[in-house]
A and B are shown apart, each in its own frame.
Chain A
């Protein structure tokens, strides 16, 4: 239910209305005067287009910089666009040039080339016994000779990874499989896990078995590097691998894997 009864407080509010009205007018006038005064004092002596670096002028841009094709010039001399008929071309009379007299042009003299003399053949120098070239003291590397030993080594950015299969026949017969083992473990070796100061120049040797299905199992540290973080990263590299693919022969092989950490 709405309250429609007379409220004596409303009378009091109405009496005060006049004072509030004039107060509001004065306040607005003061605010407006303040804004105008501030604007006047702030920008006194400046105007747009002034010849100073911070003037308010805007940069005018030439219309020619609009990337549109240039407008075609109206050609009033053209035959098809012009109302006026084009003038007939002026024909000039052709002049005949007289032939020169036979003795006016000089004939150049023929130059005679000097006769070339072939050099006389010299007798060949007598042959001396030459000293034999020194034989390389290094053994030939795997680039030419192919993989003979059951070991595969990979140069990484942060070290060297090499896998060796303890079963020598398997390693030489299925060298490609040893390569895959080496490559897969190396791809899963995150060298950031090893502490660079403690493990620089050190090697960890991990031994693990690969079963018939190709899954690695039982990784253990054979030779500790002396840096626990490098040992841990080496073990994790083997543990990250889920499989190398089924063994081409046999029911398991044992792999000795060396992780060597160097500075990149």
Chain B
């Protein structure tokens, strides 16, 4: 008896439901710089050290610069040390002087031991008439003849947010010049799911965890937010009258915009790199399958047709012509790659329980959460892995820090943000960021935050 299309929802969901709820959050990648430098190296044969940079405290030009200048100095220092491409001189090794202008700096002081810096960032910070004025300089400490690499001037309203913003901009300029032309990420945002009071809402914060604020106030369960490549819209999946449906929030209008509902459970939207298409998983035809629709929900077409659930699609952000997703056709969920017309299906993982892929901005790697020995009593746990798509070689990035899920690449391809639960409970999940080689781990939020997604720029 063939009652396949008419099966009740509960039956349709009974097998894949546990899988979906852990797997839908597919992490969407960040943008595609043309000259993305791959800093992800496992070989260390060269023995080349990073550029050693000294970050001087800026010189206060007015007496009331106090706390704002402190915010600025701290933010600039942490931005440059978070960049992952510098060797930062410790504050205790810096000379006592605080030069504010090119004429006031003695390069020998900074270039010689114990500072031994190759580059010096310094400048002047002042507030007057409700505005901040910052002059920032980057000098090559070894080049006495032509030391200046960069000089910037900023003038903004005097408040904590703008002081931090100016520091982010100046840090991004330095990272752009010295980091191989890859734009820095200090001005990027991370959107995530914040849970409290039985609801899950979409929140946003700066890349370093500052300025956390709510985006949606829907009073329901909203999950797997994905920001569009132009940073104007957020697509997410929200529980409503018709079950889980794809919803769309406009950051320009600051309100929900229409996205048509369909039958079944619709989860894990993902933007194509040109921002025209949205891929998502939908169970409108029975099994959860991958669909692609326009960014306003029209012309949706089915890409996969296999028995077993297909969830968590993510576009290759470099080419836009491939999709990585999670399929349960062989039992446990595994990572697969295909072209966007549904051809050339390739299985990437050889076993275990793989969820939530995120494609690196240069298209070379896929990060995903993987429990390689899945089952009762099996050793290990769910950790973040990175796989090179061409060779299927992988490395493990997190070890022994509890359950890790939902990795998301930064636009420069040097960082990965993910959700981590130290004790395995969902309530203690927090958002953690690290360099793409697994070092430099930092907690961005406290408990109660999940499913981070790094903006494209």
Give chain A's interface residues, CB within 8 Å of chain B. Answer: 142, 146-148, 154, 156-158, 172-176, 179-180, 183-184, 186-192, 213-215, 240-246, 248
Q: Are A245 and B149 in contact (CB under 8 A)?
A: no
Residue interface mask B113-150, A partner, CB < 8 A = 1: 00000110000000000000000000010111110010
A148→B119 CA distance, assembly (Å): 17
Q: Are A245 and B181 in contact (CB under 8 A)?
A: yes
B442 within 8 A of A: no
Q: Are B48 and A156 in contact (CB under 8 A)?
A: yes
A184→B41 CA distance, assembly (Å): 12
Q: Are A146 and B46 in contact (CB under 8 A)?
A: no
From known contacts A172-B146, A174-B146, A213-B181, infer whether A242 and B37 are also in contact, taking CB-CB under 8 Å.
yes
Would you give the shortest CB distance from A6 to chain B, in whole angstroms?
Answer: 41
B43, B45, B146, B362 interface centre (most CB from chain A within 10 Å) = B45
A244→B140 CA distance, assembly (Å): 17
Q: Are A146 and B142 in contact (CB under 8 A)?
A: yes
Q: Are A176 and B140 in contact (CB under 8 A)?
A: yes
6 closest Cβ pairs, A-B complex = A243-B35, A245-B181, A157-B47, A146-B144, A176-B140, A175-B143
B66 within 8 A of A: no
Chain B residues near A213 (CB-CB < 8 A): 34-35, 181
Query: Contacting B41 at CB < 8 Å: which of A142, A187, A215, A248?
Result: A187
Chain B residues near A215 (CB-CB < 8 A): 35
Query: Contacting B181 at CB < 8 Å: which of A173, A188, A189, A243?
Result: A243
Would you give the shortest CB distance from B427 to chain A, in whole angstroms?
Answer: 32
A174→B146 CA distance, assembly (Å): 7
Chain A residues near B181 (CB-CB < 8 A): 213-214, 243-246
Closest A residue by C-beta to B144: A146
Q: Are A186 and B36 in contact (CB under 8 A)?
A: no
Chain B residues near A244 (CB-CB < 8 A): 180-181
Task: Beyond A214-B180, A243-B37, list 4 extra A-B contacts (CB 8 Å).
Answer: A174-B146, A176-B143, A186-B48, A246-B181
A18→B145 CA distance, assembly (Å): 114
Would you give the shortest CB distance from B141 to chain A, in whole angstroms?
Answer: 9
Closest B residue by C-beta to A154: B48
Closest B residue by C-beta to A145: B144
Q: Which of B324-360 contact A (CB under 8 A)?
A: none
A-binding segment of B171-179, B212-220, B273-281: B171-179
Chain A residues near B118 (CB-CB < 8 A): 176, 179
Would you give the shortest CB distance from A204 to chain B, in whole angstroms?
Answer: 15
Give chain B's interface residues, CB within 8 Å of chain A. Answer: 34-38, 41, 43, 45-48, 51, 118-119, 140, 142-146, 149, 176-182, 362
Q: Is the interface of B mostly helix, strand, loop or mixed?
A: loop
From known contacts A213-B181, A243-B37, infer whether A187 and B143 are also in contact, taking CB-CB under 8 Å.
no
Chain A residues near B362 (CB-CB < 8 A): 242
Chain B residues near A157 (CB-CB < 8 A): 45-47
Chain B residues near A188 (CB-CB < 8 A): 46
Q: Are A183 and B51 in contact (CB under 8 A)?
A: yes
From known contacts A147-B142, A245-B180, infer whether A176 and B35 are also in contact, taking CB-CB under 8 Å.
no
Chain B residues near A242 (CB-CB < 8 A): 35-38, 180, 362
Would you give the shortest CB distance from A121 to chain B, in whole angstroms?
Answer: 43
From known contacts A243-B35, A244-B180, infer whether A158 and B45 are also in contact, taking CB-CB under 8 Å.
yes
Chain B residues near A180 (CB-CB < 8 A): 51, 178, 180
Closest B residue by C-beta to A155: B47
From known contacts A148-B145, A157-B46, infer whether A245 and B179 are also in contact, taking CB-CB under 8 Å.
yes
Query: Contacting B45 at CB < 8 Å: which of A192, A214, A241, A245?
Result: A192
Chain B residues near A176 (CB-CB < 8 A): 118-119, 140, 143, 149, 178
A146→B144 CA distance, assembly (Å): 6
Chain B residues near A146 (CB-CB < 8 A): 142-145
Would you give the shortest CB distance from A117 to chain B, in whole angstroms?
Answer: 49
Q: Are B46 and A189 in contact (CB under 8 A)?
A: yes
A147→B113 CA distance, assembly (Å): 17
Chain A residues near B178 (CB-CB < 8 A): 176, 180, 245
A158→B142 CA distance, assembly (Å): 25
Closest B residue by C-beta to A237: B46
Closest B residue by C-beta to A181: B180
Q: Are B41 and A245 in contact (CB under 8 A)?
A: no
